[in-house]
Structure 1
Amino acid sequence: MRPLRYSINVTLDGCCHHEAGLPPDEESMQYWAARLAEADALLFGRVTYEMMQSAWRRPSTGAWPHWMNEWQIRFAETIDRAEKYVISRTLTAADWNAELLRGDLERTVTQLKQQPGEGLWVGGVALPLALADLGLIDEYEFLVQPVLAGHGPTLFAGLRERIPLDLVDRRELRSGAVALRYRPTGAMA
């Protein structure tokens, strides 16, 4: 069974709005590009899919925008070419190397996890909350930004039950951000 890893940037006070933390830098973009490249496929809800597509889809010209730094291109190319699954009740179609999935969330994601491979990656806020409630997330990865946002959406607001976690990896970035990886307590490595 391939594991499902949830990854997100978050501020010290738990805000998960994509503009609340530090602006991306070369080291954080390299970190995320490497982590995304380890996944067989990406799993998004509608909101995250549309946000990521608008930011990271290769333009029809084939050339990346002039505003994009060289160090952003590796991340852009990694996410652009990745296989994607989009779980949505409202979308009627998905492109950008994506397949639209509907139906029972638990059954659909369990079937994806049962396929051979290295793992799945999920981002966003609402979909990961539902997956956590179902016990389907095998690893939680947070890039904790040294910022206090003071407002904005927070991770796992409304989670039904506590999920005890074991720290499995920690990495400090030069910016002061800390990458933390956890597995649910008692999960196999």
Structure 2
Amino acid sequence: MRKLVYGMNLSLDGYIAAPGDDIGWGVQSDELFQWWLDEEKAIGLLLYGRRLWEIMSSHWPTGDQHPGATPAQVEFARNWRDTPKVVFSSTVDKVDWNTRVVTGDAAAEINRLKAEDGEPMRVGGAALAGAAMRAGLVDEYQIVTHPVLIGGGKPFFTAMDGWVHLNLVGTRTFPGGVVLTRYETRR
């Protein structure tokens, strides 16, 4: 059975994007980027909602060709292109870069994918992750909190149907006051 991980950068007040889908508020560092790269290299399947797919696919297919791209950014772009991806959307009809589209029940498809053997999967995008959380499918939360309050936008957590109990499995600090907390779901 595959493990499902939900992790993203978020503001201290719990948002992954400010109004207008602005994600420019995060504290950047080579150390944090390298951590994300190492995490992504361990993932066997990326699961995206439409909005996150649009953000990722607008940059990473050619991210290794951008002037000034660091070695880690070059490696991230190559890994992103090579990693299989599933986009959950009823409006996206064309995808590239080792990707397929699912238009049906997201929770049912994620549950089916979890039942397969393979490397861990990462779910990205608050709405898609919310469906996976409500279905009890998320095994690990990787919360990368940046020291900024943005006051509104897209929240990391969506409304839940009940409580989810977690176990803290790790913490780490990064330059600029960024803090990673990792939790596993108690089963």
TM-score, normalised on structure 2?
0.90
Does 2:34 align with 1:30?
yes
The corresponding residue for 1:5 is: 5
Unaligned ranges ≥5, structure 2: 18-22
Is the 2:126–2:158 contact (alpha carbons within 8 Å) kept by the matching residues of 1? no
The corresponding residue for 1:180 is: 181
Q: What's the Cα RMSD here?
A: 1.6
Does 2:143 align with 1:138?
no
Change (3 A) 1:148 1:49: same
Matched residue of 2:34: which SS?
helix
Matched residue of 1:58: which SS?
helix
AA aligned to 1:4 is L
Structure with higher helix content: 2
AA aligned to 1:11 is S
Unaligned ranges ≥5, structure 1: none
Q: Deviations over 1:97-151 (max 9, x none)?
A: 1011122222211111111112101111110011111111111111111222223
How big is the shift at 1:175?
2.6
Q: 1: CA distance between counterparts of 2:72 and 2:109?
A: 35
Is the 1:5–1:141 contact (alpha carbons within 8 Å) kept by the matching residues of 2? yes
Q: Deviations over 1:4-54 (max 9, x none)?
A: 1001001111121122322x3211110001001111110001111111011
Matched residue of 2:125: which SS?
coil
Give identity over the alignment, percent. Answer: 34
TM-score, normalised on structure 1?
0.89
Is the 1:58–1:80 contact (alpha carbons within 8 Å) kept by the matching residues of 2? no
Is the 1:26–1:72 contact (alpha carbons within 8 Å) kept by the matching residues of 2? no
How many matched pairs?
A: 182
How big is the shift at 1:166?
1.2
How big is the shift at 1:72?
2.1
Structure with higher strand content: 2
